[in-house]
Amino acid sequence: MRPSPLIGLAVCSSMIASCASSPRSFGAAPPQVMMPEEASRSCALHRLPENPRAADLEVGFAIRGAQIVECNAARRLAVETHDAEHRLEAKQAQARAQAARPWWMVWRRAP
């Protein structure tokens, strides 16, 4: 018995089609932005001594206010770093989506 050439052609084309539809692997890790040390450090707050006087209260309020401002700046830095990392990840995902267009599309897609 001789196999039909049409069956062989169908088998070969199905194998080629399954390879062409498999997702591409770029192997690149997603971009990461290192968190600055200032953003990961815990905030210290001034405490009053055992028997505070009026001068201790005034100094304590000034020191504590400066520490809160510093803590807010560190938190803002952490949020900006986090947002920058997500923007880089979105940019890389968009580049991957554009690179994964079908082989028959020669022109570029509109963003």
> What per-residue confidence (pLDDT) applies to 8?
72
> What per-residue confidence (pLDDT) applies to 46?
87
DSSP string, 32-90: --PPPHHHHSPPP-----SS--HHHHHHHHHHHHHHHHHHHHHHHHHHHHHHHHHHHHH
> What per-residue confidence (pLDDT) applies to 39?
77
Determine contact, residues 88/33, Cβ cutoff 8 Å: yes
pTM above 0.75, yes or no: no
Torsion (CA) 69, 74, 76, 82 in degrees, nearest 10: -170
Predicted confidence pLDDT, tens digits, the chain (111 residues): 566 777 777 776 766 655 555 555 555 677 777 877 877 788 888 888 899 999 999 999 999 999 999 999 999 998 998 899 889 988 988 888 777 766 666 565 555
CA 36 – CA 75 distance, rounded (Å): 11
Residue type, 39: A
Sign of torsion over alpha carbons 102, 103, 104, 105: positive
- List, for residues 28-56, the tens digit of each pLDDT value: 677 777 877 877 788 888 888 899 999 99
